[in-house]
Structures are given as structure tokens and as C-alpha cells.
């Protein structure tokens, strides 16, 4: 039986992971990234040193994505804390498994401080000197909780609620949408699989269905806000014939529904105030 430490008390993904742990009857403890961040470096070192005997698997599901956070804060929470923890516990003689999570946009959206902090994490994992560490890059995850307002889907949701016009930027960006439930099941399947101890330092997970952001937004506007107008602003520099994708191909491709079907169903529930 696995003994898992899940870092991410307030993480959206954590609630889905806990459901999977219950199905597998795995022992687990949820740790708070916020609490860890308030410790001194010495206190965190002592904490991780004492934790290495309690757990055999560590999943760092928490992340700070708020664009109002400073680069220093994002780097500290998303890169320094997990890296410091893994480097301490890896020195122990007992074999461990470490999973960190990142974005498929690593190496593409380099101007985004959140993506940059996750990219650093992936680069560190890819050094390959720490056995058992795998950094999983994933495409856009969606689920019961409405997306935050600083994200495109969150901004669109506000327009749908208020029945107002919406402006879209970077219409040629390609996206793949995966439900949190499906991604959480994938992670637990990987941990429970025969090759769990032989995973590569980095891997990327995507879906079978791809969509242009513009096509998804147009479809949602027609479905939920047909009386309002959709404006297109290409001032970000995307050329009319440029399709922006990810830096790497998917190592695992999950069977996903069409983006408009998946996000459309979720949006219906978000607008109605229901969980899905």
C-alpha cells in the first residue's frame, strides 16, 4: 500500500486526487503549501527530513498562478519549495517517488512568470540526477470549480453571466482541455502501474481533442450569449496564419471529448451555480 504526501491543501486538483486515493485505499496526508511557505528554511528542512520515513510518494499538486504575485513569490512557491524538499528526501537511502506538475506551455509562454517557474521545475527534474522524480506537464485542466477571473475562461464566464461583449486575444492559440477527474485518474494509474519506478524525468499529458481558442470562445458565445458581440484583438502579435502550440509533443494522450462539449457542459453548470 502506498503512503502518499499530497502538497496542496487548497489545490483544485487535490480534491480529485483524494477521491482516487480512496478508491485505491492508499494512505495519505494532505500538506499545506501556505503553511510550508511560512516556515524558515531550517524548519522546512527538518520537516522534510522527518517526513521521509512516513511516506514513499510525494505529489506536489499545489501551485500559485495569480499574476498579481511577484516573480520572486512565484519562483519561491512553485520552484524552490518543491525542489528543496525533493533534494532533501532523495538523499535518504529509501527509494521515493516524486511527482511535480507543470504546464504544456512550458518553453512557449516564457513571458508568463507562473509558466516560467514551472519550466524551471521541469528543467531541474530533467537533469536526471534525482531518481524517482517525474515532472508531468499537462494541458488545461477544467472541473467543478469555475476558472479564476484572471484566466481567459474566467473572463469569458463573466461576460456570459453579464450578457456583455467579449474581446479575445491570440486567436490562433491551440488548446487541449482535460477534466480534473480524468487527469487525477491518469496520475493514480501511473503510480499504480508496472513502470511506476521507471518513469522518465519529464512527460507531457494531453487530450485527443484539440481546439483553437477562437473556435471555443465563438462556440460558447453562440451557445450562452448570442445577443452580444465577440471582438478580436490581434495586437499581441499573433499573425493570421500562425498556430501557437506547445513546445513538446504529448507522451500520453487521454481520450477526451470535444472541447466545446466538455467546456460547454461545465460552463452551463458554472452559470447555474452547480458542481459538475
The domain ranges of the chain are 3-272
pLDDT at site 238: 40
Is the Cα dihedral 205, 206, 212, 216 positive or negative? negative
pLDDT at site 110: 77
Region label for 140, one of left (φ > 0), alpha (ψ between -120 and 50) or beta (otherwise): beta
Of the pLDDT bands very low, low, confident and very high (cuts 50, 70, 90), residue 273 is: confident
Query: End-to-end CA distance of the chain, in Å?
Result: 30
| 149-166 per-position pLDDT tens digit | 989 999 999 999 999 999
Of the pLDDT bands very low, low, confident and very high (cuts 50, 70, 90), residue 246 is: low
Residue 240 has pLDDT above 60, yes or no: no
| 22-59 per-position pLDDT tens digit | 999 999 999 999 999 999 999 999 999 999 889 999 99
Distance CA 98, CA 135 (A): 8
User: How does the average pLDDT of the chain come out, rounded?
Assistant: 91
Among residues 36, 59, 56, 60, the alpha carbon closest in space to that of 46 is found at 36
**Assessment of whether the complete model's pTM goes beyond 0.85:** yes
Residue 123 class from Cβ within 10 Å (0-12 exposed, 13-18 middle, 19+ buried)? middle
Residue 33 class from Cβ within 10 Å (0-12 exposed, 13-18 middle, 19+ buried)? buried
Residue 67 has pLDDT above 70, yes or no: yes
* Number of other residues whose CB lies within 10 A of the CB of residue 234: 14
pLDDT at site 173: 82
Residue 20 has pLDDT above 50, yes or no: yes
Architecture per CATH, 3-272: 3-Layer(aba) Sandwich (3.40)
Residue with cell 509558466: 115
Amino acid at each position: 500500500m502506498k503512503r502518499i504526501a499530497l502538497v496542496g491543501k487548497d489545490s483544485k486538483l487535490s480534491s480529485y486526487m483524494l477521491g482516487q486515493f480512496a478508491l485505491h485505499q492508499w494512505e495519505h496526508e494532505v500538506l499545506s503549501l501556505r503553511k510550508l511557505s511560512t516556515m524558515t528554511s531550517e524548519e522546512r528542512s527538518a520537516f522534510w527530513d522527518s517526513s521521509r520515513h512516513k511516506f514513499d510518494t510525494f505529489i506536489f499538486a499545489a501551485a500559485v498562478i495569480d499574476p498579481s504575485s511577484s516573480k520572486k513569490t512565484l519562483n519561491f512557491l512553485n520552484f524552490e519549495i518543491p525542489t528543496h524538499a525533493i533534494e532533501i528526501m532523495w538523499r535518504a537511502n529509501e527509494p521515493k517517488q516524486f511527482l511535480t506538475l507543470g504546464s504544456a506551455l512550458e518553453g512557449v509562454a516564457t513571458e508568463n512568470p507562473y509558466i516560467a517557474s514551472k519550466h524551471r521545475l521541469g528543467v531541474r527534474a530533467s537533469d536526471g540526477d534525482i531518481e524517482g522524480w517525474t515532472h508531468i506537464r499537462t494541458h488545461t485542466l477544467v472541473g467543478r470549480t469555475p476558472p479564476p477571473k484572471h484566466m481567459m475562461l474566467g473572463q469569458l464566464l463573466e461576460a456570459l453571466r453579464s450578457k456583455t461583449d467579449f474581446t479575445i486575444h491570440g486567436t490562433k492559440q491551440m488548446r487541449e482541455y482535460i477534466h480534473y477527474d480524468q487527469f487525477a485518474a491518469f496520475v493514480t494509474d501511473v503510480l499504480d502501474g508496472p513502470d511506476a519506478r521507471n518513469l522518465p524525468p519529464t512527460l507531457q499529458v494531453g487530450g485527443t481533442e484539440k481546439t483553437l481558442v477562437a473556435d471555443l470562445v465563438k462556440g460558447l458565445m453562440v451557445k450562452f450569449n448570442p445577443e452580444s458581440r465577440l471582438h478580436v484583438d490581434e495586437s499581441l502579435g499573433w499573425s493570421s496564419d500562425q498556430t501557437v502550440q506547445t513546445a513538446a509533443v504529448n507522451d500520453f494522450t487521454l481520450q477526451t471529448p470535444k472541447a466545446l462539449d466538455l467546456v460547454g457542459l461545465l460552463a452551463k453548470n458554472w452559470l447555474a451555480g452547480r458542481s459538475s
